[in-house]
Amino acid sequence: MNLQGKKVTLHDMSLRDGMHAKRHQITLQQMIDVATGLDEAGMPLIEVTHGDGLGGASVNYGFPAHSDEEYLNAVVPKMKQAKISALLLPGIGTVDHLRMAYDCGVSTIRVATHCTEADVSQQHIGLASEMKMDTVGFLMMAHMVPAEKILEQAKLMESYGANCVYCTDSAGYMLPDEVLEKIGLLRAELKPDTEVGFHGHHNLGMGVANSLAAIDAGAARIDGSVAGLGAGAGNTPLEVFVATLYRMGVESGVDLFKIMDVAEDLVVPLMDHPIRLDRDALTLGYAGVYSSFLLFAKRAEAKYGISARDILVELGKRGTVGGQEDMIEDLALTMAKEQGLI
């Protein structure tokens, strides 16, 4: 693979996807410290929101330590060069949240839908684009449908006003060939000035390899997370990825030693558990299950005595999608009844 001379925009997820791994309890000071460290390391884009995006504060997904507005108001003014992005899942967040984020100084909005349901994003993408924000469409669980379907949905988002569309491997299920095919098709068929992005999870240990494949196929933006802090086995660990990009001659503008220090000195110490490929995280990747289900399945295991792995495998069989966290306790209850445990 020859990526010599290519350029890529990295986008850090530790303060949004990482919220899943922290049960949305990152403190304002931790947010400021990590974001400031990333800013100094040259990270161009940093996402800050509840793990499930704007308006994610709920019984279903978890109440955060602070509101989206408090986090954004704490972090945005501290940034010297980095821009702050926010995630929005239609069905959870609304255009009211979008306006709030805009008022807080968020410059990039990423509107996320399941990979077959892009048409629920029209009003949100339309408004963000109207407000001249950097407007990104984010097609989640992209492993569940063929490349042609991803393209069809990406074109919808493009038609609503998205200037960048992501192929998102929410389950960490994809292998590099699939990434090449999907990103390659998007790059070939979307408008030349529409950027293509890739968001990986490390549930099969493929975060770095898949992200390289994405760049090879024409992706201009790559998501990852410093120290991998993210749902499941985490996102593509950015300090590892940056080192790899140095070796391959890809320009990211991020200082390797500085981001290594942010990972080691700031992010690892705030982890509640090591972000690693334990058997449950591996099951996510193997069974194709939404990464943020991990801790919910572990909690259901602790409460009802049903193995998290069994729950996750069954959720994969049922074709569950992002946002269906409520299915986990429901399914655990049903399985516990069937097994005579309750």
Partner 1 sequence: MSKKLKAAIIGPGNIGTDLLMKAMRSDWIEPVWMVGIEESEGIKRARDFGMKTSVSGVDGLLPHVIEDDVRIAFDATSAYVHAENSRKLNELGVIMIDLTPAAIGPFCIPPVNLKAHAEKLEMNVNMVTCGGQATIPIVAAVSRVQPVSYGEIVATVGSKSVGPGTRMNIDEFTRTTAAGVEQVGGAKKGKAIIVINPAEPPLIMRDTIHCLTEEEPDQEAITQSVLDMVEAVQQYVPGYNLVNGPIFDGNRVTVFMEVEGLGDFLPKYAGNLDIMTAAGLRTAEMFAEEAANNTITLPARA
Decide whether 7 or 337 has the Cβ nearer to partner 1.
Answer: 337
Is 20 considered catalytic here?
Answer: yes
Q: What SS3 class is residue 2?
A: coil
Decide whether 166 or 304 has the Cβ nearer to partner 1.
Answer: 304
| Six token digits for residue 292 | 């943020």
Catalytic residue among 11, 20, 24, 50: 20
CA distance 271 to 43: 21
Please spell the DSSP secondary structure of 250-310, one letter per residue: -B----HHHHHHIIIIIIGGG-SS-----HHHHHHHHHT--TTHHHHHHHHHHHH---HHH
Decide whether 94 or 307 has the Cβ nearer to partner 1.
Answer: 94
The answer to whether 197 and 222 are in contact (CB under 8 A) is yes
Decide whether 42 or 91 has the Cβ nearer to partner 1.
Answer: 91
Nearest to 294 by CA among 129, 171, 180, 161: 171
Decide whether 27 or 58 has the Cβ nearer to partner 1.
Answer: 58
Tell me which residues touch partner 1 (CB under 8 A).
58-60, 90-92, 94-96, 114, 116-117, 119-120, 122-123, 318-324, 326-327, 329-330, 333-334
CB of 46 to partner 1, least distance (A): 26
Distances (CA, A) of 36 to 32, 79, 235, 329: 6, 7, 20, 37
| Six token digits for residue 262 | 């942010």
Beta-strand runs (E) in 119-187: 134-140, 164-168
Catalytic residues, which ones? 20
